[in-house]
Amino acid sequence: AVVKRGVMSLYKFGLAFENTRETDYVTEKVFEVLRAGAVPVYLGAPNWREFVPMDHSVIDASDFESPTELGLYLKHLSANETLYREYHRWREQPLPAQVAELEATSFHWNLCRVCGWWQQNFSGRAG
From the list 84, 87, 82, the residue with the least C-alpha distance to 54 is: 87
Task: Say which amino acid occupies 89.
Answer: R
CATH code of 2-94, in short, is 3.40.50.11660
| CB 61, CB 45: distance < 8 Å | no
In the predicted model, what is the mean pLDDT of residues 98-123? Answer: 63
- C-alpha to C-alpha distance for 124 and 119, rounded to whole angstroms: 8
pLDDT tens digits along 39-67: 999 999 999 998 888 889 999 999 999 99
pLDDT score recorded for residue 66: 98
Q: How many other C-beta atoms can be found within 10 angstroms of the C-beta atom of residue 113?
A: 11
| CB 45, CB 25: distance < 8 Å | yes
Domain ranges of the chain: 2-94
